[in-house]
């Protein structure tokens, strides 16, 4: 259901677009690309000068190449439009610190530890936080999600409200992994 129509009328001032794309490579690896743009609908007065309406204040890009186990094997970052020319762009090589990390094993924590605050670009770092879920969606193209022969709990279960193993969703679509909420609650009470 879309958002309800706002009341009263309003005028847009700013647009941020964030796009993630996943690509299968000929060498068996996968590229996940992310781009963030910020554009004002009016001339923006920045400390570095005026940015004309419609011209990006930020145009940040990052590409991670990962193997089939979600390990980052290559990183490329770019800052094509920035609010502080000459000050923002030099940090992009710091994102090489992502090489060797695993997108689904403590990735966001490691990114913050390595590239948080003055050690990175707040916008590029923000883009990295969406890479794990974009990668999972990309890898879903390769897997049979409901393969009955899988003996290991699917990674997505217990990762969100709808996919709690005690939910109706799991009972319907992943019955092998469903846990009765009443039984689960009683086990938790007994363990405490």
Task: Give me the pLDDT at residue 182, please.
Answer: 80
Task: Give me the pLDDT at residue 30, please.
Answer: 97
Q: Using 70 as the pLDDT threshold, list the residues of the chain that sit under it.
A: 143-150, 184-192
User: Cα separation of 189 and 170, whole Å?
Assistant: 23
* Phi and psi at residue 165, to the nearest 5°: -65, -5
Q: What is the DSSP letter of 102?
A: B
Pair 39, 15: CB distance under 8 Å: yes
Task: Give me the pLDDT at residue 155, please.
Answer: 77
Parse the chain into domains and list their residue ranges: 14-139, 145-192
- Using a cut of 0.85, tell me whether the model's pTM lies above it: no
Q: C-alpha angle 176/153/32, rounded to 5°?
A: 130
Report the relative pairing of strands 14-24 and 49-51 from DSSP bridges: unpaired
Task: Give me the pLDDT at residue 26, please.
Answer: 97
* Phi and psi at residue 181, to the nearest 5°: -60, -40
Joined together, the tokens standing for residue 187 give: 């086990």
* Phi and psi at residue 178, to the nearest 5°: -70, 135
Q: What is the largest CA-CA distance in the chain?
A: 64
């Amino acid at each position: 259901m879309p958002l309800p129509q706002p009341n009263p009328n309003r005028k847009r001032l700013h647009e941020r677009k964030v796009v993630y794309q996943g690509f299968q490579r000929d060498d068996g690896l996968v590229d996940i690309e992310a781009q963030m743009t910020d554009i004002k609908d009016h001339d923006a007065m920045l400390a570095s000068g005026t940015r004309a309406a419609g011209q990006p204040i930020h145009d940040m890009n990052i590409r991670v190449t990962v193997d089939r186990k979600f390990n980052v094997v290559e990183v490329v970052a770019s800052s094509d439009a920035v609010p502080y020319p000459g000050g923002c762009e030099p940090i992009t090589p710091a994102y090489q610190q992502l090489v060797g990390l695993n997108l689904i094993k403590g990735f966001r924590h490691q990114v913050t530890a390595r590239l948080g605050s003055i050690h990175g670009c707040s916008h590029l770092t923000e883009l990295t936080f969406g890479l794990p879920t974009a990668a999972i969606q990309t890898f879903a193209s390769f897997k049979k999600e409901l393969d009955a022969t899988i003996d290991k709990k699917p990674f997505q279960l217990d990762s969100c409200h709808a996919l709690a193993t005690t939910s109706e969703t799991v009972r319907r679509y992943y019955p092998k992994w469903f846990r009765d909420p009443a039984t689960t609650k009683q086990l938790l009470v007994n363990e405490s």
